[in-house]
Amino acid sequence: MMKTINEHIKKGELKPVYLLYGSERYLVLKMKEKLKNAIISPEDSFNYSHFEGNKIDLIKVKEISETMPFFSETRLILIEGSGLFKKSSDTMVDILKQAPDTTKFIFVESEIDKRNKLYKYVNKNGYAAELNGMTEKELLTFVARMITGAGKKIRENTANYFLTVAGTDMNILQNETEKLVAYVGSREEITKKDVDAIVTVEITNKIFDMLTHIVYKRQRQALDLYYDLVAKKEPPLRILALLVRQFQILFQVKDMQNHGKSRQEMAKSTGLAPFIVGKYENQTKGFSLEQLRECVKKCAKVEEKIKTGQIVDLIGVELLIIGFSQ
């Protein structure tokens, strides 16, 4: 889809109308800007019209579409979130049919119905691009390009870990990558430690609270936190990765407790502030060292089942939380 539109732009053979939709919002918005800049100059406000929402004045759209461009070869009308591709819209089809060749249209929609008359017209006479999520390989390339473009380096295993904890939403990946680059400063290589320090901070607190509920066998509260994270589009595998990290920290703290280490010594060994170590010490009371080891093993088994398609990620992590909090 993207490759086709890029070819249209490169060859200067733009279609009269484009429809951009799909689950990957980042790609939709990026392609919208790319097409917009290919059709008219970014400074050209005379020949650019923007309509948004499901109460668009189609009479006004028609009037503008039939107006010749002012000191330019083309006029652009951008229409976003109109809902016109979910309901019958003969009027919009007529507007497109009657518009002169000098007027171009871009539609950006979240939902479409391929049986819709307007969709069929655009698909036949223009170009309809469904922009969904990239593959893992494509996402790795996406991240690598941003990092190398910023003059930094990242190992493949670190990049894979970054995707696990940051998820696959490209907007989030871009934001987190920019934060990572800023965080490392003059250092050239981005490490797993950097990823942990920057990317996991926002949801670590909720994972910590989830673990507290697990310790005290408050299953409902633990699941509520999980559902809340999922509702906010946190990937289950990312939640699992952070849950494993919490169990590993608990294991370290418990082991050092058993060896009579002081809180200051534990803080130095784990890289955590002493008061944070104190919170983990409270949580370790609900587990033996062997139980914590088993928790990590169970997480690893579920992760393997998810990645080999034996269980759905959402259900796999949910069952783990249920099991831990029984």
Domain end (from 109, 130, 151): 130
**Number of domains the chain contains:** 3
Name the average pLDDT for the chain.
Answer: 88
- CA-nearest of 143, 186, 145 to 165 is 143
At residue 235, the 3 state secondary structure works out as: coil
Q: Domain boundary residue among 85, 114, 130?
A: 130
Q: Which helix (H) or strand (E) holds 77?
A: strand 75-80
What is 273-315 written as a DSSP string?
-HHHHHHHHHHHTT--HHHHHHHHHHHHHHHHHHHTTSS-HHH
Chain centre distance of CA 50: 26
Q: pLDDT, tens digit, for every residue of 95-124?
A: 999 999 999 999 999 888 999 999 999 999
* Global confidence as pTM: 0.57
Percentage of residues in the chain with pLDDT exceeding 90? 39
Phi, psi of 215 (to 5 degrees): -55, -45
CB 116 within 8 A of CB 85: yes
Q: Record the tokens describing residue 283, joined without a space.
A: 């949580």
CATH number at residue 291: 1.20.272.10
Tokens for 231, please give them: 């509702």
CATH number of residue 43's parent domain: 3.40.50.300
> Looking at 76, 101, 130, which one is the last position of a domain?
130
Residue 186 to residues 127, 150, 190, 192, 196, Cα–Cα distance (Å):
45, 11, 11, 17, 19
Q: Are residues 6 and 123 in the same domain?
A: yes
19 and 79 part of one domain:
yes
For the segment 27-36, the average pLDDT, to the nearest whole number, is 91
Which residue bears the tokens 């955590």?
A: 272
Which of 117 and 242 is assigned the larger pLDDT?
117
Q: Which domain holds residue 21?
A: 2-130
Q: What is the pLDDT of residue 182?
A: 93
Mean pLDDT of 228-245: 82
191 plus 218 within the same structural domain: no
Q: Quick one: 189 and 293 in the same domain?
A: no
Residues 121/93, Cβ–Cβ less than 8 Å: yes
